[in-house]
């Protein structure tokens, strides 16, 4: 039986960069396993349609967003993972995010100062080029969305009218404001990690890629990982790295007996390592889709080039956190419950920081994961969502928006003015930003809920690591796409360096 040096489970936003980087060393044999199909940049959607529940390119999970609000969550199940089906936004985590993660795990390698060179190296910024902040020869191309559409111009002008500053580069770590969104959809073509990392590496003899391969369990012997089990077949490896994302990684750990011992036993799974933090303490961003009708035109401009999301206003909340308003030129009705009316546009309202901590669990050895988000459970979180909805309404009421804004689809003034009514509206319309993180989080040795260390090594099991957004102590303030790639790059550096 052949033994690979490393098996990487999951060829998504983190796993594809990790596998490609490890295979740069010719004497390191890498087996990359992906549950979904292969992908082509010519056939992948350049919008969110691939992330619809039931899509052949996505896993679909049952979720409870909070207080019984049922929802279906879709995550990428294709070579490239969610980078092949997401909104195409390439927003970095904020400097404060990196510094908080470094403090949580006690490792300055996660600080913004140390992370910035890696962030530069992984990108080719087509707008700003090589600088102290950006790279010009990395694998991931990044360009800002066009601002020619009347709604995009009005959105930016409205933000300025309200006193918000310009933020032309949302990856610069500067003061929050209004500006164009950085994207990895270039000239209408999605550039996933599969295309940018794996395609140039496919010819390497030491890299084997298997698609359509669902991993059932991690195999172990003597307190160390020995490989994985796939349909009754044992695939052997010197090391196993889980890159399945913040849902599939805790699912696989729990299915392998790694998690809270009492919870596993009650689900009929024999506990192997008692790690209470597996699947617990997840964080994400609660989302609201505020549909509105555009006056004067049904819209061509930027949306004709496939650009759904063009602009963002990031603003400081009254309690110091960051709130987010995105402008979408497409209603995205099938995904987010819009009406699909002609001329409908969206403000996508979200809170960058929340108190909510959820969980990902399974109720049996072969069961699909169950997601619980626990959104809106605190007064502070309800206040955040009221505040961001009212910020959207204030934007809509400006003179700058008067030529394009024809009214909200289903949000009226009495609801906006009454906290109780607005809370009820928020609960009815609640969705999630699909930025799940923290289900196998990293931490210091004395942290009882930490699952991995700063290098992704799983506690209690040698030769097993996690390298995806599961390990982040908290979700990044501004989305996960760029950070997931960063994780793959950072953990590749550490594996190659032997720590």
- What CATH number corresponds to the domain at position 56? 3.50.50.60
pLDDT for 300 equals 43
Asked whether residue 85 falls in the same domain as residue 182, the answer is: no
* 398 assigned to some structural domain: yes
Quick check: is 435 catalytic?
Answer: yes
Percent of the chain residues topping a pLDDT of 70: 94
Give per-residue burial for 183-213: e unless 16+ CB within 10 Å, then b. Answer: bbbbeeebbbbbbbbbbebeeeebbbbebeb
Residue 149 has pLDDT above 60, yes or no: yes
* Structure-token match 């140390």, residue found: 114
Asked whether residue 388 falls in the same domain as residue 442, the answer is: no
Please report which helix (H) or strand (E) contains residue 212, including its range: none
Asked whether residue 35 falls in the same domain as residue 116, the answer is: yes
Across 351-366, average pLDDT: 95
Domain ranges, residue 216: 4-139+190-282+435-497
Place 1 in a pLDDT band, splitting at 50, 70 and 90.
low
Say what the pTM is: 0.96
Query: What 3 state SS string does 19-74 have?
Result: HHHHCCCCCCCEEEECCCCCCCCCCCCCCHHHHCCCCCCEEEEEEECCCCCEEEEE
307 or 452: whose pLDDT is higher?
452
Asked whether residue 332 falls in the same domain as residue 425, the answer is: yes
The active-site residue, picked from 4, 134, 314, 435, is 435
Backbone angles phi, psi at 108, to 5 degrees: -70, -10
Residue 436 has pLDDT above 80, yes or no: yes
Asked whether residue 317 falls in the same domain as residue 462, the answer is: no
The Cα 329–Cα 279 span in angstroms is: 35
* 368 assigned to some structural domain: no
- From the annotation, which residues make up the binding site for FAD? 78, 215
Q: Give the residue from 412, 432, 452 where a domain finishes.
A: 432
Asked whether residue 196 falls in the same domain as residue 184, the answer is: no
pLDDT for 188 equals 86
Q: What is the largest CA-CA distance in the chain?
A: 70
pLDDT for 319 equals 82
Instruction: Give the CATH number for residue 396.
Output: 3.30.410.40
Asked whether residue 334 falls in the same domain as residue 349, the answer is: yes
* 36 assigned to some structural domain: yes
pLDDT for 333 equals 55
Asked whether residue 218 falls in the same domain as residue 295, the answer is: no
* 219 assigned to some structural domain: yes
Residue 334 has pLDDT above 60, yes or no: no
Domain total of the chain: 2
Based on its alpha-carbon atoms, the radius of gyration of the chain, rounded to whole angstroms, reads 22
* 369 assigned to some structural domain: no
Across 118-147, average pLDDT: 98
**Counting Cβ atoms within 10 Å, is residue 296 exposed (0-12), middle (13-18) or buried (19+)?**
exposed
* 9 assigned to some structural domain: yes
pLDDT for 412 equals 97
pLDDT single digits (tens) 287-316:
999 999 999 755 444 343 445 899 999 999
Across 216-228, average pLDDT: 98
Supply the mean pLDDT for the chain: 94
pLDDT single digits (tens) 269-289:
999 999 999 999 999 999 999
Q: Give the residue from 385, 411, 432 where a domain finishes.
A: 432
- From the annotation, which residues make up the binding site? 78, 215
pLDDT for 43 equals 65
* 362 assigned to some structural domain: no
pLDDT for 52 equals 77
pLDDT for 296 equals 78
Question: Whose CA is closest to 288, among 424, 426, 410?
Answer: 426
pLDDT for 305 equals 43
Asked whether residue 254 falls in the same domain as residue 289, the answer is: no
pLDDT for 276 equals 98
Asked whether residue 417 falls in the same domain as residue 291, the answer is: yes
Asked whether residue 404 falls in the same domain as residue 467, the answer is: no
**Counting Cβ atoms within 10 Å, is residue 21 exposed (0-12), middle (13-18) or buried (19+)?**
buried
* 363 assigned to some structural domain: no
Asked whether residue 250 falls in the same domain as residue 303, the answer is: no
Q: Give the residue from 384, 413, 432 where a domain finishes.
A: 432
Cβ-contact 330, 343 below 8 angstroms: no
Residue 344 has pLDDT above 60, yes or no: yes
């Amino acid at each position: 039986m052949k033994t690979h040096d490393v098996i990487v489970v999951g060829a998504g936003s983190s796993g594809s960069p990790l596998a490609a980087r490890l295979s740069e060393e010719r004497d390191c044999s890498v087996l990359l396993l992906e549950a979904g199909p292969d992908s082509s940049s010519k056939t992948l959607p350049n919008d969110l349609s691939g992330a619809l529940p039931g899509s052949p390119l996505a896993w679909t999970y049952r979720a409870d967003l909070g207080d019984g609000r049922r929802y279906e969550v879709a995550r990428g199940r294709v070579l490239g993972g969610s980078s092949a089906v997401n909104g195409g936004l390439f927003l970095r985590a904020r400097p404060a995010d990196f510094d908080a993660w470094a403090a949580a795990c006690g490792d300055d390698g996660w600080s913004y100062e140390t992370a910035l060179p890696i962030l530069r190296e992984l990108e080719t910024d087509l707008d700003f080029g090589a600088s102290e902040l950006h790279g010009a020869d990395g694998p991931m191309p990044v360009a800002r969305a066009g601002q020619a559409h009347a709604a995009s111009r009005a959105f930016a002008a409205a933000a300025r009218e309200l006193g918000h500053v310009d933020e032309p580069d949302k990856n610069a770590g500067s003061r929050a404001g209004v500006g164009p969104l950085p994207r990895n959809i270039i000239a209408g073509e999605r550039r996933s990690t599969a295309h940018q990392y794996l395609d140039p590496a496919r010819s390497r003899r030491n890299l084997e890629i298997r698609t359509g391969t669902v991993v059932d369990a991690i195999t172990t012997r003597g307190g160390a990982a020995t490989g994985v089990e796939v349909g009754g077949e044992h695939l052997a490896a010197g090391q196993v790295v889980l890159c399945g994302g913040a849902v599939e990684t805790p699912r696989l750990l729990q299915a392998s007996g790694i998690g809270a011992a009492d919870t596993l036993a009650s689900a009929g799974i024999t506990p192997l390592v008692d790690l209470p933090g597996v699947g617990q303490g997840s964080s994400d961003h609660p989302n609201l889709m505020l549909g509105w009708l555009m006056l004067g035109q049904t819209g061509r401009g930027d949306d004709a080039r496939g650009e759904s999301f063009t602009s963002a206003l990031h603003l400081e909340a009254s309690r110091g956190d960051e709130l987010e308003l995105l402008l979408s030129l497409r209603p995205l009705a099938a995904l987010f419950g819009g009406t699909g009316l002609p001329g409908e546009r969206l403000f996508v309202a979200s809170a960058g920081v929340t108190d909510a901590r959820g969980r990902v669990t399974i109720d049996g050895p072969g069961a699909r994961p169950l997601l619980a988000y626990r959104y809106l459970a605190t007064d502070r979180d309800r206040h955040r969502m009221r505040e961001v909805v009212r910020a959207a309404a204030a934007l809509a009421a400006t003179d700058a928006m008067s030529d394009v804004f024809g009214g909200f689809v289903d949000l009226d003034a009495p609801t906006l003015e009454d906290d109780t009514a607005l809370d009820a509206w928020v609960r009815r319309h609640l969705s999630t930003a699909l930025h799940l993180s923290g289900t196998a989080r990293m931490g210091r040795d004395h942290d009882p809920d930490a699952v991995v260390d700063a290098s992704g090594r799983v506690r209690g099991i040698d030769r097993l690591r996690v390298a995806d957004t599961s390990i982040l102590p908290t979700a990044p303030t501004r989305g996960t796409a760029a950070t997931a790639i960063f994780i793959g790059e950072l953990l590749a550096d550490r594996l190659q360096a032997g720590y």
